[in-house]
């Protein structure tokens, strides 16, 4: 039988402590639904005693009917001078009404004497009594041994005695926390093996931070040493350098270790991107398994090998994690590279089709001029359709100009732009203003196009990037502009290249409008 591993997601608690992360109550509810649908075993929903927003969230959470996940409230052990049943933090945990609670307690003697400033035996009593009280209330208790690996290194016996106190109180899981994130994987493996031998009857968990870039490796080492629960955040963000990235760990455990994590891995990429979208963070392109470049091939030998036998250059099938293979275009691309991209739009094309050779040559010429289509999917599709004679432009730009006045007459800088387009023999001249010339051109072009195509209002710009191509030319350098746009669930990128940043930007802007109009028509 496959070995089962419990996935404990802390995106809503530890993840929320990452810089720039701020969840609304609705954000949190949406993430809970997403994680539950995916099949996560535990969802650490936050600390109900920390702020009014979390209290409101836990009230709303009671109305959700979850299919897979057990919701867990998080808090600390009781204070030393207050009976457990009267401690405000403990009462808030009970009021949260979750079936499970995660309680963190000190396992490093340094923290007991220098941070809590209480006797070592008193800390053990607090751990034991807090866990016992929560068990009496019918809760599943996960004891998070804070700073366990540092504590084990400094005072092995005391760190183990903290776990013993939690076990005597009736803890269901002993989770070992690398709170400072500084323990190497081999050190984690040794310590976890020791703990599992001391407490063979209890489930052991691991909680790693990524301060030395080893959170995933440390978590994997802990599982190999006997841990059965892995804590982390789904996309890896969290305090300081972040937490163990569960999206990578889940795939590693499933595909590399043959373990059962209770989740549908074919939805891994979609789930990760949904959580990233709610959290307002970007999944990096080279993120293992779920990044858009995770299965991207550029080298001719790689592409040839993948086309003949995918496993020659791919460690798993991209579809198994909901991702897809990409063949990147460059100045060294041949027909074998370009053909798979073309067949996405026109399956009937073959390597012998004359259009393939013509498009390949045009791509090389444009790459030489500074265009790079591997990151500009929409402009690439427009180029292909135009080359095949299948693109009828929805509008023609007759002229455009952008103006700035320095200094601004009223003290507030504003740019102005003018755009004139033609559609079916009719012309439209519009003016627009904005925060900078590109924004002004966007507004002016949008107004002109809207006269003929009101449906354009559903499209909006997401990102704008400028890169200098030939830095040696100083201010005379050529620039490449990439504009990422969205229309509903569709996200696409267009490109423009010129020695004039305004021209490069306007080319990418015009492509984005043409692309979405063509897509809506098709």
Q: What is the pLDDT along the chain (522 residues), one digit of tens a residue?
A: 689 999 999 999 999 999 989 898 989 999 999 999 999 999 999 898 777 778 789 989 998 999 999 999 999 999 998 999 999 999 999 999 999 999 999 999 999 999 999 999 999 999 999 999 999 999 999 999 999 999 999 999 999 999 999 999 999 999 999 999 999 999 999 999 999 999 999 999 999 999 999 999 999 999 999 999 999 999 999 999 999 999 999 999 999 999 999 999 999 999 998 898 888 888 888 999 999 889 887 766 776 777 777 788 889 999 999 998 877 655 445 666 677 777 777 778 777 788 888 888 888 788 778 887 767 889 988 988 888 888 889 999 999 999 887 776 666 778 899 999 999 999 999 999 988 899 999 999 999 999 999 988 888 888 888 888 775 666 778 899 999 988 876 788 999 999 999 999 999 999 999 999 988 776
| Residue 364: per-residue pLDDT | 78
Whole-number Å distance between alpha carbons of 73 and 315 = 38
Structural contact between residues 49 and 101, judged by C-beta atoms closer than 8 angstroms: no
293 token code pair: 């470049």
Q: How far apart are CA 163 and CA 310, in angstroms?
A: 48
Question: Could you tell me which of 251, 284, 508 has the C-alpha nearest to residue 377?
Answer: 508
Task: Please name the CATH architecture into which domain 396-521 falls.
Answer: 2-Layer Sandwich (3.30)
CB 177 within 8 A of CB 150: no
Q: Which pLDDT score, from 0 to 100, does residue 351 have?
A: 75
Q: What are the sequence ranges of the domains in the chain?
A: 6-263, 296-379, 396-521
Token pair of 427, please?
């012309």
The set of residues, in sequence order, having a beta carbon less than 8 Å from that of 147 and lying 6+ positions away, is: 106, 107, 108, 111, 177, 179, 180
Q: Indicate the Cα dihedral angle 16, 217, 177, 186, nearest 10°.
A: -160
Report the topology of domain 6-263. TIM Barrel (3.20.20)
Could you list the beta-strand ranges (E) of 213-297. 229-232, 296-297
User: From the CB of residue 326, how many other CB atoms can be counted at a distance below 10 Å?
Assistant: 18
What is the structure's pLDDT at 329? 59
């Amino acid at each position: 039988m496959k070995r089962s591993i419990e996935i404990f997601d802390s995106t809503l608690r530890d993840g929320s402590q990452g810089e720039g992360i701020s969840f609304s109550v609705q954000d949190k509810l949406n993430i809970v639904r997403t994680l539950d649908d995916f099949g996560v075993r535990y969802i650490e929903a936050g600390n109900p005693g920390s702020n009014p927003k979390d209290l409101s969230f836990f009230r709303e959470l009671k109305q959700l009917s979850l299919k897979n996940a057990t919701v867990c409230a998080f808090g600390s052990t009781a204070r030393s001078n207050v009976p457990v049943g009267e401690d405000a933090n403990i009462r808030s945990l009970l009021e949260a009404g979750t079936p499970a609670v995660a309680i963190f307690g000190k396992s490093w003697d340094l923290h007991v004497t220098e941070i809590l400033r209480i006797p070592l035996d008193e800390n053990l009593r607090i751990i034991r009594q807090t866990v016992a009280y929560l068990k009496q209330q019918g809760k599943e208790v996960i004891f998070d041994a804070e700073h366990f690996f540092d504590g084990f290194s400094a005072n092995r016996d005391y760190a183990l005695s903290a776990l013993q106190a939690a076990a005597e109180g009736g803890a269901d899981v002993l989770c070992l926390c690398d709170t400072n994130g500084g323990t190497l994987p081999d050190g984690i493996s040794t310590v976890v093996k020791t703990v599992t031998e001391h407490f063979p009857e209890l489930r052991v968990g691991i909680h790693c931070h990524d301060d030395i870039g080893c959170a995933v490796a440390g978590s994997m080492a802990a599982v190999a040493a006997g841990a059965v629960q892995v804590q982390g955040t789904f996309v890896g963000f969290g305090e300081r350098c972040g937490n163990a990235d569960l999206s990578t760990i889940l795939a590693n455990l499933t595909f590399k270790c043959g373990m059962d994590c209770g989740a549908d891995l074919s939805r891994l990429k979609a789930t990760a991107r949904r959580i990233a979208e709610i959290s307002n963070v970007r999944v990096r392109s080279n993120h293992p398994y779920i990044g858009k470049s995770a299965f991207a091939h550029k080298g001719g030998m790689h592409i040839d090998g993948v086309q003949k036998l995918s496993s020659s250059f791919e460690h798993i099938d991209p579809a198994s994690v909901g991702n897809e293979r990409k063949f990147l275009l460059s100045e060294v691309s041949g027909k074998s590279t370009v053909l798979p991209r073309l067949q996405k739009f026109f399956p009937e094309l073959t390597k012998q089709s004359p259009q393939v050779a013509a498009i390949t040559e045009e791509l090389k010429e444009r790459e030489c001029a500074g265009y790079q289509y591997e990151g500009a999917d929409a402009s690439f599709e427009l180029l292909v359709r135009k080359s095949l004679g299948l693109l009828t432009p929805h509008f023609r730009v007759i002229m455009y100009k952008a103006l700035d006045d320095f200094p601004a007459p009223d003290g507030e800088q504003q740019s102005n732009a003018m755009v004139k387009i033609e559609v079916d023999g009719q012309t439209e001249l519009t003016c627009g203003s904005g925060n900078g010339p590109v924004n002004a051109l966007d507004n002016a072009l949008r107004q002109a196009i809207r006269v003929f195509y009101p449906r354009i209002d559903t499209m909006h710009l997401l990102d704008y990037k400028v890169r200098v191509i030939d830095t040696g030319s100083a201010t005379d350098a050529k620039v490449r502009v990439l504009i990422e746009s969205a229309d509903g669930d569709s996200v696409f990128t267009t490109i423009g290249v010129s020695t004039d940043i305004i021209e490069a930007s306007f080319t990418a802007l015009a492509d984005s409008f043409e692309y979405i109009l063509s897509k809506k028509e098709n």
